[in-house]
Amino acid sequence: MMIDGLILLAAPTARSRAYIQALVAAGLLPERVVLLGDESEPVGQAGLAVRQWQGLVLPDHAESIAATCRRAGIPVQACAAGSVNEEEVMDVLRALAPRVLIYSGAGGQIVSASALGLGFPFLHVHSGYLPDYRGSTTLYYALLNGDAPGATAIVLDRTIDTGPVIARRTYPRPPEGMDIDQVFDPAIRADLLVHVVADFSRRGALVPIEMQDPAAGVSYYVIHPVLKHLGILSLASASEQ
């Protein structure tokens, strides 16, 4: 089912590949994908059978975003620019005038006030249970703290991870050996996105379940490599118990 007014703004990243593959697997097709930057075709066998773990669709990184869209019949509009904040991209989005823009730009980019003022909601899935885990690399902090990994869908506002909450979920800790950055993190975000898009297709709108208090919660910064390694080691410890 193609959903009118739903646009995916994608970049050549693991997260964007996970998003479009999960949406296609669920039969929830965006009207168009706007693809930023230069996506080289991945090396390897494309079109593999969907892989799953505990109900999560795991991304097939051998298949490019463009290839996924071709097999699903989703139009792709390429932009040489690498950021939503560039005027070229904002002009494209103004012309498309989506009802909802799924935002999946390059990691670490902050969406500008000009982009957020284009007149439609930016739907973002954060890999942390808000407001407890705001900021960067929060999956690893959750692992270190012994908490379940989480994901939260929000409408972006002008401060980081403080927008209205549309949905949130917790997930089982990943198994030892699973790539957290390239597989687990994109997979849980994509899973929550599918639930949000399915709800949007039924209701015709994004319906917040909570308005966040920016003063509440905890913000984290890019994790130190040693702490990141300890978070990964915690998975081995858990499997031995």
Residue 49 has what pLDDT?
A: 54
**Cβ 38 vs Cβ 54: under 8 Å:** no
Helices within 52-168 (DSSP H only)? 65-72, 87-96, 113-116, 138-145
| DSSP bridge partners of 52 | 57
Cα–Cα distance measured from residue 67 to residue 38, given in angstroms and rounded to the nearest whole number: 14
**Out of 3.90.79.10, 3.40.50.12230, 2.30.30.30, 3.30.413.10, which CATH number does the structure's domain 2-126+151-214 have?**
3.40.50.12230
pLDDT band at 206 (very low <50, low <70, confident <90, very high): very high
pLDDT band at 107 (very low <50, low <70, confident <90, very high): confident
**Cβ 48 vs Cβ 63: under 8 Å:** yes
pTM (2 decimals)? 0.94
More confident: 46 or 208: 208
Token reading at 79: 């932009």
Classify residue 106 as exposed, middle or buried by CB count within 10 Å of its CB (0-12, 13-18, 19+).
middle
Q: Where are the domains of the chain?
A: 2-126+151-214
User: What are the angstrom distances between the C-alpha of 209 and each of 77, 95, 144, 155, 199?
Assistant: 32, 30, 28, 11, 12
pLDDT in tens, 130-166: 999 999 999 999 999 999 999 999 999 999 999 999 9
Residue 239 has what pLDDT?
A: 54
